[in-house]
Amino acid sequence: MQRLQALANRSLAAGALNRHHNPLPVKALKLPFCAQTVRFKTHGFIDQSGLKRFSTAEATVASRDNGQVREKTLTMETLNPQVKAVEYAVRGPIVIKAGEIERGLQQGMKQPFTEVIKANIGDAQAMGQQPITFLRQVVALCTCPELLESPIFPEDAKIRARRILQGCGGHSIGSYSASQGVECIRQDVAAYVEQRDQGVPTNWDNIYLTTGASDGIMSILKLLVSGEGPSRTGVMIPIPQYPLYSAAIAELDAVQVNYYLDEENCWALDVNELHRALQEAKQYCNPRVLCIINPGNPTGQVQSRKCIEDVLHFAYEEKLFVMSDEVYQDNIYSPDCQFHSFKKVLYEMGPEHFNSVELASFHSTSKGYTGECGFRGGYMEVINLDPEVKAQLVKLLSVRLCPPVSGQAAMDVIVNPPNPGEPSFPQFLKEKTAVLGALAEKAKLTEQILNAVPGIKCNPVQGAMYAFPRIFIPPRAVEEAKVLGMSPDMLYCLRLLEETGICVVPGSGFGQKEGTYHFRMTILPSTEKLKLLLEKVQDFHVKFLKEYASLDEPLI
Amino acid sequence: MQRLQALANRSLAAGALNRHHNPLPVKALKLPFCAQTVRFKTHGFIDQSGLKRFSTAEATVASRDNGQVREKTLTMETLNPQVKAVEYAVRGPIVIKAGEIERGLQQGMKQPFTEVIKANIGDAQAMGQQPITFLRQVVALCTCPELLESPIFPEDAKIRARRILQGCGGHSIGSYSASQGVECIRQDVAAYVEQRDQGVPTNWDNIYLTTGASDGIMSILKLLVSGEGPSRTGVMIPIPQYPLYSAAIAELDAVQVNYYLDEENCWALDVNELHRALQEAKQYCNPRVLCIINPGNPTGQVQSRKCIEDVLHFAYEEKLFVMSDEVYQDNIYSPDCQFHSFKKVLYEMGPEHFNSVELASFHSTSKGYTGECGFRGGYMEVINLDPEVKAQLVKLLSVRLCPPVSGQAAMDVIVNPPNPGEPSFPQFLKEKTAVLGALAEKAKLTEQILNAVPGIKCNPVQGAMYAFPRIFIPPRAVEEAKVLGMSPDMLYCLRLLEETGICVVPGSGFGQKEGTYHFRMTILPSTEKLKLLLEKVQDFHVKFLKEYASLDEPLI
């Protein structure tokens, strides 16, 4: 108990987080895995970086005000309850804590490590990945057309830039584009999709450029949410999931319907589990939407063609609107795996299916081999959408005017990269191959090292950018977490962070089967740093097991 | 009646819009001015450009399908009713129609004009305004840091770019920034606000970078919406308003509470009218938010310091959360007017007010003298926000990861432009002065020419980018519009578009006092084109009046 108290004190002394236990999930029906997540209540104001700040103004005024406190208009009591229900672990409390520690280090605070390694988010360039030269050249040319006259950039980059500028109002990326995006970029996207899917017809009118994939996913979900009580829209999502989905569902007050991926079977999607989840959900909501993430985030699996066909047939029979998150389509590492787009499989299933299933698929500039997260570029393709609904979608998008045009330009380069024979092709190919090669190597490395640790089991990282290993947490540690009012994997990740400087996200933030524990880590650090990270995890885990071992229980 | 039919036929033959009358506003309580707006139902699918398109795939499959129609999952019946309720006139049906005509012209269709002039949206660069060189140089340098080594750009631009890159993860604008934005840019914004407001203390922790101002406005409104029935959040907005507000309120299912600006008094905001609107609203909702647009959009007025003080005192007394839309703060043309920020006035009212009123103010890269709409940059400053709510705001923003980083960089240049003595200063000053000088000239020109037309009355365009003239519409035209199921000013604007190629937005899309009619036009076209536009409006209006004149009524 003394040690418990010490840990609690240490956490509080660190100043970041005042944990308090919420014994019942706020929306038990909607967010069943919430029961395992922790709710944090900030202690005073903590900014993104984890430091408390007070403005001179506020400090001055507070003293002038002589301690009198006037009640605010906007408080936790009057806040939109849907906002309150939102959780987003990828940038959650553990990341805030990591920022705080990092800042402490910079200010000379002593820690048992010299740097914080942030493996919490798929942010390749923050981890040192270099941008694709050609992409940046095209965007710079669009930004400063005077560069078109300079010999500094190659001709093929200039051709791309001129085409994009030609499609912009006033030939400037400073103009709003159409709400759906610049027409010629949408045409380029359509050509890309058609080529990727070996000739499946693609209409650029079904292409909408977006502010990253998240924006597209949110827009489509927004259309689909309706009804009250038992007729409220249910949205089927995988567990584990990328928490954008649970956050969007909470924000839109839809009903989250979980289907569980099969961890024992390399996180495969079993159509029987979809049936189970659907039947159960029908008792309390109207399940209308099926979300798929392929390749998987956080789980890294790549779905087989057969599996996709089964899923699409299920959606066809059950009349579900399918949202396929395919942002990792270029991130396939396992030689046994191949990316199959949902659209292509649907097409191959014949016209009855291809003409029926309403399907939205999402892509992004942030992942793949470009990792251009900051540009907030992306697109979605929506097929079989009711024409009147399509007009409503355009109307909805038009309120936000347009996606960032430089992000649209970045998206254009991704779908229309240098071709063999063009001056930039050799360098482009070299850069692309290097990034994807390194990622494949790191995927293998991560799996191998993690699986060598007693008490950690990691499925192959077939694709995407993450490992989601299962970790054994000894019952005494589970107990301790309970006392501290946090999920056991949060305790684990917090200790990992505090003792090694490694920032990973607890599995409870993504959802997991009850009684199992995981964390998500990216495979994005450089090979050298990744090795260091994995060794530290290994040492930490062994120490953690020993520390919490009971005399009456074996280590694993 | 024959002419009516001809007009109706002509509109239908144009193929764009199948108008149908919705005699009762869908949300009469919330959107009182809706009664005057038209609802359009698209006839088949019409894209942004106004052309009907069918994909090869859809066409093929449709024929294979042998005419069988399977009911969609997502239809107008199952669509989110809040999405259905959204209206956004600035990119509404008239603009879709303009796109269609424009495309027809390009394809050689005969029209009584040779070009469509789009004066519907504040999109300066689409109208030919040139970007500020320095801004584009900095963003290009951030995009392609190899340019830092080239002599092509000046040293002060490089200093800005290096500072921004230093603040980015991995020193790349391709990384996600913190959810609130890049720290050093937030610091630059805070320094700018402090300087603009002559020393009013500003804490960069209260600064949030946004994806244009719209995104910030939507985020703050999202926090504020709660309650059911009579305790549902009421949001006070000016009428006329920029329709982002009504659209956001509809999307969030809040209650729109209208206060009317005083057209007879140059669109002034009378605090008595605020009292009236508030008292009435209290009977059916819980008014908690007061939105102000200053300088006004679409109305172009600039609020006096006295007026702002009155409004803030009202908000203080009534405990309203104030949202001040100040995106046109650099667009002041009338020599008698000056921009006063709500924050500065609040500060000058003393600590009791400055420490109490919760205030969010919004700025953008899209307006001012830069007109960088496509970058989707902006910021908001929020003061007196409850610390716990602040953490909730950051959490909400984090789900969308971050605003586009190149937009953040553009925002940085706007708040941190070249200083006297720096190499880029002379050119910067020249460009800025030229843009603002031209806008001031065009504001005057617009007001003068419009006021010379019988049946048009236009308040001075003191600021912003729009004229919102009141137009007399003869009773017979009002009758005809009724028969056609559209608002009279929609009929007017549609005829103006069809006969002259000029695209402006009907006043009903912004809200107006019942029985009055207006349109909003931008003052952004080049002086030459603007003169042409105004002459065409003049001719059209005179013709319109004659056409609809009754024998028993005078012309005005």
Question: Could you report the per-residue pLDDT of B321-357, keeping only the tens digit for each?
Answer: 999 999 999 999 999 999 999 999 999 999 999 999 9
β-bridge mates for residue A470, sequence order: A457, A518
Q: What is the pLDDT of residue A457?
A: 96
Chain B environment of A169 (Cβ under 8 Å): 123, 125-126
Cα gap B353→B349, rounded to integer Å = 6
> Nearest C-alpha of chain B: how many angstroms from A333?
23
Using the beta-carbon criterion (under 8 Å), do A373 and B174 form an inter-chain contact? yes
Strands A321-325 and A359-364, bridge-based pairing: parallel
Measure in Å the smallest separation between the Cα of A61 and chain B Cα atoms. 6
Q: Which residues of B touch A185 (CB under 8 A)?
A: none
Smallest Cα distance from A488 to chain B, Å:
22
CA distance B80 to B100: 28
pLDDT at B67: 52
Nearest CB partner across the interface for A45, out of B49, B321, B391:
B391
Residue of B nearest to A84 (CA): B392
Q: What residue spans define the domains of chain B?
A: 2-122+434-548, 199-402
Within 10 angstroms of residue A194's Cβ, the number of other Cβ atoms is 17
Which residues of A fall within a CB distance of 8 Å from B404? 211, 374-376, 404, 406-407
pLDDT digits (tens, 9 = 90+) for B277-331: 999 999 999 999 999 999 999 999 999 999 999 999 999 999 999 999 999 999 9
Is the CATH number of domain B2-122+434-548 3.40.50.170? no
Residues forming beta bridges with residue B45, ordered by sequence position: none
Test B170 with A80 for CB contact under 8 angstroms.
no
Which of A80, A115, A130, A232 is the best residue to mutate to test the B interface, defined by the most B CB atoms within 10 Å of its own CB? A80
Residue B549, pLDDT above cutoff 80? yes
Burial of B56 (0-12, 13-18, 19+ CB in 10 A): exposed
Q: Best of A19, A40, A42, A48 to disrupt the B interface by mutation (most B CBs within 10 Å)?
A: A48
Conformational region of residue A61, where left means phi above 0, alpha means psi within -120 to 50, and beta covers everything else: alpha
- Chain B contact set for A74 (CB, 8 A): 223-224, 288, 321, 358, 385-386, 389
How close A54 comes to chain B (CA, Å)? Answer: 8
CB contact under 8 A, A203 and B65: no
Per-residue pLDDT of chain A (556 residues; tens, 9 = 90+): 344 344 333 333 333 333 333 333 323 223 222 222 323 332 233 333 333 333 333 333 333 344 556 889 999 999 999 998 888 877 778 888 998 999 999 999 999 999 999 999 999 999 999 999 999 999 999 999 999 999 999 999 999 999 999 999 999 999 999 999 999 999 999 999 999 999 999 999 999 999 999 999 999 999 999 999 999 999 999 999 999 999 999 999 999 999 999 999 999 999 999 999 999 999 999 999 999 999 999 999 999 999 999 999 999 999 999 999 999 999 999 999 999 999 999 999 999 999 999 999 999 999 999 999 999 999 999 999 999 999 999 999 998 899 999 999 999 999 999 999 999 999 999 999 999 999 999 999 999 999 999 999 999 999 999 999 999 999 999 999 999 999 999 999 999 999 999 999 999 999 999 999 999 999 999 999 999 999 999 999 999 999 998 755 554 5
Distance from CA of B21 to the nearest CA of A (A): 17
Q: Which residue has the tokens 């002379």?
A: B426
Q: B553 falls in which pLDDT band (50, 70, 90)?
A: low
DSSP state of A131: P
Interface test with A, best of B41, B68, B164, B172 (most A CBs within 10 A): B172
Residue of B nearest to A50 (CA): B391
Helix (H) or strand (E) holding B288: strand B286-293
Q: Which stretches of B208-284 are DSSP H helices? A: 212-224, 244-252, 271-281
Residues in B touching A55 (Cβ below 8 Å): 201-203, 205-206
Q: Is the ipTM of this complex over 0.90?
A: no
Inform me whether the pLDDT recorded for B260 exceeds 50.
yes
| Contact call for B391 and A84, based on CB within 8 A | no
Cβ(A180)–Cβ(A209) below 8 Å: yes
pLDDT of res. B91: 76
Instruction: Give the residue carrying structure tokens 């066409």.
Output: B59
A-chain residue closest to B254, CA distance: A80
The answer to whether residues A218 and A199 touch, using CB atoms and an 8 Å cutoff, is no
Q: Are the beta carbons of B80 and A351 separated by less than 8 Å?
A: no
Measured between CB atoms, which of B74, B203, B351 is closest to A224?
Answer: B74
* B251:A399 CB<8 A: yes
Q: Which residues of A touch B371 (CB under 8 A)?
A: 174
pLDDT, tens digit, for every residue of B358-416?
999 999 999 999 999 999 999 999 999 999 999 999 999 998 899 999 999 999 999 99
Q: Record the tokens describing residue B271, joined without a space.
A: 């605090």
φ/ψ of residue B208, rounded to 5 = -125, 125
DSSP for B490-505 reads HHHHHHHHHHH-EE-E
Whole-model pTM over 0.95: no
Whether the pLDDT of residue B238 is over 90: the answer is yes
The answer to whether A2-122+434-548 and A188-415 have equal CATH topology is no
Q: d(Cα B325, Cα B332) in Å, to the nearest integer?
A: 15
Pairs of CB atoms within 8 A across A/B: 387
**Residue of chain A whose alpha carbon sits nearest to that of B244:** A399
Q: Please state, in angstroms and rounded to a whole number, the distance separating the CA atoms of residues A168 and B373.
A: 12
Q: Which residues of B touch A201 (CB under 8 A)?
A: 55-57, 60
Which one of B65, B215, B394 has the shortest CB-CB distance to A351?
A: B65
Q: Specify whether the CB–CB gap between B114 and B105 falls below 8 A.
A: yes
Burial B383-422 (b: 16+ CB within 10 A, else e): bbbbbbbbbbbbbbbbbbbbbbbbbbbbbbbbbbbbeeeb
List chain A residues with CB under 8 Å of B176: 121, 123, 126, 366, 373-374
Of B55, B127, B321, the CB nearest to A206: B55
In the CATH scheme, what is the code of domain A188-415? 3.40.640.10
Per-residue confidence (pLDDT) for residue A550, from 0 to 100: 72
Task: Find where tokens 């992306």 sit.
Answer: A378
In contact, A337 and A462? CB cutoff 8 Å: yes
Query: CB–CB of A137 and B126 under 8 A?
Result: no
Hey, are the CB atoms on A83 and B223 less than 8 Å from each other?
yes
Residue B38 has pLDDT above 70, yes or no: no
Confidence band (pLDDT; 50, 70, 90) for B85? confident
Residue B59, pLDDT > 80, answer: no
Chain A residue numbers with beta carbons less than 8 Å from the beta carbon of B84 are: 392
Three-state SS for A505? strand
- Give mean pLDDT, residues B56-76: 59
Question: In chain B, whose CA is at the least distance from the CA of A51?
Answer: B205
Cβ contacts (< 8 Å) between B394 and chain A: which residues? 47-48
The pLDDT of residue A26 is: 27
Q: Which residues of A touch B140 (CB under 8 A)?
A: 140, 143-144, 147
Average pLDDT estimate for B453-462: 95
Largest CA distance in chain B: 77
Residue range B199-402, CATH number: 3.40.640.10
Interface test with B, best of A314, A401, A405, A408 (most B CBs within 10 A): A401
Please report the pLDDT score of residue B164 as a whole number.
97
Predicted pLDDT at A48: 35
Which DSSP letter does residue B145 get?
G
